[in-house]
Copies of this chain bind each other. A is one copy, B any other.
Amino acid sequence: MIDFQTSPDRYRHWKLGFEGAIATLAMDVDEAGGLSRAYELKLNSYDLAVDIELYDAVQRLRFEHPEVSAVILTSAKERLFCAGANIKMLGLAEHGFKVNFCKFTNETRNAIEDASANSGQYYIAAINGPCAGGGYELALATDYIMMVDDGNTSVSLPELPLLGVLPGTGGLTRLVDKRRVRSDRADFFCTTEEGIRGRRAVEWGLVDAVVPRARLQEAAMSKAAELSQHSLRPIQANGFALRPLDRRIEKDRLVYGNVTVDFDRSRGVANILVQGPRSAPAESAGAIERIDDTFWPLALARELEDVILHLRFNEESIGTWVFRSEGDGQLVEQHDRLLFDRQDHWLVREIVLYLKRVFKRLEVSSRSLFALIEPGSCFTGTLLELALAADRAYMLNGTREGREEQPPHIRLTKMNFGPLPKCNGLTRLQNRFLGDPGHLETLSQRLAHDLDAEAAAGLGLVGFNPDEIDWDDEVRLALEARAAFSSDALTGLEASLRFAGPETLETKIFARLSAWQNWIFQRPNAVGENGALKLYGTGKRPIFDARRV
């Protein structure tokens, strides 16, 4: 089982240090600390174990260190930045793992960019030696790339010439779309094993500055201090610890404080029950300052994220994730009011941004997403996003015979109208009503109203609203049909339908780039007996089928 929970005291691959508002995150990979003994993580190369720690550090820097407004990303190895993803690991990995590994590492890099863009916690890459492949892609996720100017230090994306695959962590997209490197230069750069160094790297826009080796640390600190000045981070605030999740993993069940997952393995379904808040948020003066990791929206975000990552990596044959909720919609609404109204407070903002990132993870997961809105549920505001993110939401029209229950209702809050955009930059409502933007105005007038199944369907918020006579059969048949389809075709279908309208760096990375990479990852030229990825390190030369497809 791959576990995504860790904490700084357990890091084997990163050193995290602090100097006032500036943190230094130094890569120092333990060669023997990979997920598997089948490879050694030489030359500061990484595998998922290294990236899990990186993600954890990025996450804790936001919550536990409000005083940090700049992070210097560097290497603790002498004259060596990072050799990228470990190639032997990639060569040994199954297709599905490779794809999931790239997805997670991409999300970590996106989280770095989210910290800069939305929290004013800026990242600087200080490159102190060769920086290849995924190492350079990591640098590309920062705001400013500084490199030692010597004969030995270069940036490179050698994946294509060396391995017959693409840089898998957003590198190509970030080259031309983020750094706006000219495509002919990008072409040259990505087909040149040894990379580019010195002034030419600056001239081409591959890095922002080169400095003499002796001045690297000083220059990075100085740049960090400069960026810090624009930061919104609250120097004086206190962070708090993200304590280990209270989690129980059983054979067919995952139990967290606010989320329970039951597996229906025969149908390939994970039934995910989300619990609403058990009480209202405190409203007294200073209540926000006393928020900690038990605060419902934050606890929920952490648990949902862990569920998503666990299911992606450890439950590959569970193809459909079915969300239900349980609780009091009014309590959700009260939390939403606090989240929405107090985004000026750093911690509230962090929690909202975190919820946003978790919902984004959901939609780039290669699983069918269903939501079932039944009596007793609380799909209100933030939780309604789960239903809006679903490929299909079913809402029971009325109640079930013989049960004492109220018919289900859903409720919109302001959280549905802005703070939780999808990867394409649109809210789920904007994305849903792309063909009728005026409808958003109508919806905003229904804020805080209970909407029953007919009202919800009438407003287009749920697609399917069978009554009790049809409910069981309709839901069962839909889930059984899903289980009978080709898993791959579903992945392609969902990736194509979920994101209409505008594209962003993120959607380009998760769609265009990842789709091509996935394609290449299973071509004989990469993974066949004579493929480049398979033969790397053996001394044998790959044999390519020259036919262009």
Complex contact B496–A513 (CB within 8 A):
yes
Give the residue of B463, B512, B519 whose beta carbon is less than 8 angstroms from that of A522: B519
Evaluate contact between A488 and B523: CB separation under 8 angstroms.
yes
How many copies, total?
Answer: 2
Binary per-residue interface labels of chain A (204-226) against chain B in the complex, 1 for a CB within 8 Å, 0 otherwise: 01000000000000000000000
Task: Flag whether A249 is at the interface (Cβ < 8 A).
Answer: no
Given A495-B512, A525-B486, verify A184-B391 contact (CB < 8 Å). Answer: yes
List residues of A (124-175) whose CB comes within 8 Å of B's CBs. 159-161, 163-166, 172-173, 175
Q: Given the complex of chains A and B, what is the CA–CA distance between A161 and B159 in angstroms?
A: 36
A163-212 contacts to B (CB < 8 Å): 163-166, 172-173, 175-177, 179-188, 190-191, 205
What distance in Å separates the Cβ of A156 from its nearest Cβ neighbour in chain B?
A: 14
CB of A436 to closest CB in B, whole Å: 8
- Of the stretches A22-30, A330-338, A497-505, the one at the interface is A497-505
- Spot the interface stretch: A74-82, A113-121, A409-417, A539-547: A539-547
Identify A184's interface contact among B390, B481, B542, B549, CB under 8 A.
Answer: B390
A531's nearest neighbour on chain B, judged by CB, is B486
Q: Which of B164, B176, B500 contacts A486 (CB 8 A)?
A: B164
Shortest CB-to-CB span from A145 to chain B, Å, is: 15
Residues of B within 8 A of A12 (CB): none
Given A268-B546, A502-B503, also A191-B485 (CB < 8 A): yes
Q: Does A418 lie at the interface of the complex (its beta carbon under 8 Å from any beta carbon of B)?
A: no
Residues of B within 8 A of A205 (CB): 435
> Pick the contact of A485 from B164, B316, B463 — CB < 8 Å?
B164
Residues of B within 8 A of A326 (CB): none
Does A45 belong to the interface (CB within 8 Å)? Answer: no
CB of A400 closer than 8 Å to a CB of B? no
The interface size of chain A toward B, counting residues with CB under 8 Å, comes to: 93
Quick one: CB contact mask for A312-342 with B, threshold 8 Å, 1 for yes? 0000111100000000000000000000000
Enumerate A428-477 residues with CB–CB distance to B below 8 Å. Answer: 431-436, 460, 463-464
A6 located at the interface, meaning its Cβ lies under 8 Å from any Cβ of chain B in the complex: no
Instruction: Answer whether A463 and B188 are a contact pair too, CB < 8 Å, given A96-B547, A488-B519, A525-B487.
Output: yes
Most buried by B among A176, A184, A392, A548: A548
Q: With A95-B549, A522-B519 as known contacts, state yes or no: A489 contacts B166, CB within 8 Å.
A: yes
Complex formed: what's the CA distance from A317 to B435 in Å? Answer: 44
- Report Cα–Cα, A181/B501, bound state, in Å: 12
Most buried by B among A183, A316, A392, A520: A183
Contact A545 B164 (CB under 8 A): no
Give chain B residues whose Cβ lies under 8 Å from the Cβ of A546: 268, 317, 319, 483, 487
**B488 close to A316 (CB less than 8 A):** no
A516 within 8 A of B: yes
Please determine whether B183 and A549 come into contact, CB atoms closer than 8 angstroms.
no
Q: A503 to chain B: which residues have CB within 8 Å? A: 502-503, 508
* A549 & B488 in contact (Cβ 8 Å cutoff): yes
Quick one: CB contact mask for A388-419 with B, threshold 8 Å, 1 for yes? 00111100000000000000000000000000
| A binding-site residues for B, Cβ under 8 Å | 95-96, 99-100, 159-161, 163-166, 172-173, 175-177, 179-188, 190-191, 205, 268, 316-319, 366-367, 390-393, 431-436, 460, 463-464, 481-498, 500-503, 508, 511-513, 515-520, 522-523, 525-526, 532, 542, 544-549
Identify 27 residue pairs between A and B in the complex whose beta-carbon atoms are under 8 Å apart, listed by A's number.
A161-B481, A164-B488, A172-B496, A176-B496, A176-B500, A180-B435, A181-B435, A188-B463, A190-B497, A191-B482, A268-B546, A317-B547, A318-B548, A484-B544, A485-B544, A487-B545, A487-B546, A488-B525, A489-B520, A490-B548, A491-B516, A491-B549, A492-B516, A492-B517, A512-B515, A515-B518, A519-B522
With contacts A166-B496, A188-B463 known, what are 6 further pairs, Cβ within 8 A?
A: A163-B489, A172-B496, A186-B497, A188-B392, A487-B525, A519-B519
Q: Which 10 A-B pairs have the closest CB atoms?
A: A180-B435, A164-B486, A515-B515, A492-B516, A184-B463, A503-B503, A176-B500, A172-B496, A316-B547, A511-B512
